[in-house]
């Protein structure tokens, strides 16, 4: 009789969260009805309010979940920086790839936290700041052109990631690896063909 106290409740809650995530991701906040969420979770409306104070609260919880995982990812990526015996391009590619992989892993949360949430801009701002900080280190190490603003570069990178996530990654058209290598190739080496570059 392993009476897991509160197990069933937790499961219901998780089911509601998952259903909500999917609905929000597919239809947005307003088009998502509590009635649909609970139907998907096999429950009734009052059950929803047993676990969440309001529809907005679930949404916020999902946004925060995304944010938390995002911060966790970035925190852990700092460690790898120490193992950096690799060359810069490879390191950058790995980082971007990891990020794409992260976004791909929880597509609903990604859509919510990156595109739907009113807080999305704020979240991106944080992200950009962190990336800019990391890039600056490389820049000071002489790897990147000193006349570029890493803040701007970070912003561009995030813009690219957003777009490709929406148009290629989430629809499953391209893989994190392929996207990462294309993006990094472009950003590191630029578009110009060599003959012009050296001009």
Partner DNA sequence: GATGAATGAGCTTTCATTCAT
Partner DNA sequence: GATGAATGAAAGCTCATTCAT
Q: Which residues bind DNA (CB under 7 A)?
A: 5-10, 12, 32-35, 43-50, 53-56
Pick from 107, 103, 145, 95: nearest CA to 124: 103
The residue among 105 and 192 lying less far from a second copy, judged by its C-beta, is 192
The residue among 18 and 130 lying less far from a second copy, judged by its C-beta, is 130
123 touches 130 (CB < 8 A):
no
Q: Helices 120-140 & 150-164, crossing angle to 10 degrees?
A: 130
The residue among 46 and 142 lying less far from DNA, judged by its C-beta, is 46
For residue 154, how many C-alpha atoms fall within 13 Å in the half-sphere facing its CB? 19
Binding site for a second copy (CB under 8 A): 29-30, 88-89, 121, 124-125, 142-146, 148-149, 152-153, 155-156, 158-164, 166-168, 182-183, 185-197
The residue among 3 and 196 lying less far from a second copy, judged by its C-beta, is 196
CB of 54 to DNA, least distance (A): 3
Among a second copy, DNA, none, what does residue 182 contact (CB within 5–8 Å per kind)? a second copy
CB of 109 to a second copy, least distance (A): 19
Pick from 3, 119, 103: nearest CA to 61: 119
CB of 40 to a second copy, least distance (A): 20
Integer Cα distance of 18 and 145 in angstroms: 45
For residue 173, how many C-alpha atoms fall within 13 Å in the half-sphere facing its CB? 8
CA dihedral 108, 156, 78, 126 (to 10 degrees): -70
Among DNA, a second copy, none, what does residue 166 contact (CB within 5–8 Å per kind)? a second copy
The residue among 106 and 136 lying less far from a second copy, judged by its C-beta, is 136
CB of 38 to a second copy, least distance (A): 15
């Amino acid at each position: 009789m392993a009476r897991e106290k509160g197990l069933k409740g937790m499961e219901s809650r998780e089911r509601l969260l998952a259903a909500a995530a999917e609905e929000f991701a597919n239809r947005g906040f307003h088009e998502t009805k509590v009635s649909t969420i609970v139907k998907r979770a096999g429950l009734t409306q009052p059950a929803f309010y047993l676990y969440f104070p309001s529809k907005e609260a679930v949404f916020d919880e999902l946004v925060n979940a995304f944010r938390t995982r995002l911060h966790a990812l970035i925190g852990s990526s700092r460690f790898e920086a120490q193992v950096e015996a690799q060359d810069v391009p490879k390191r950058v590619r790995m980082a971007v790839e990891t990020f794409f992989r992260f976004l791909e892993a929880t597509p609903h949360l990604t859509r919510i936290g990156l595109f739907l949430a009113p807080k999305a801009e704020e979240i991106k701002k944080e992200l950009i700041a962190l990336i800019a900080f990391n890039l600056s280190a490389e820049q000071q190490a002489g790897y990147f052109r000193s006349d570029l603003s890493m803040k701007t570069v970070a912003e561009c990178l995030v813009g690219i990631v957003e777009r490709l996530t929406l148009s290629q990654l989430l629809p499953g058209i391209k893989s994190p690896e392929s996207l990462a290598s294309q993006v990094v190739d472009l950003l590191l080496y630029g578009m110009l063909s060599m003959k012009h570059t050296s001009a």
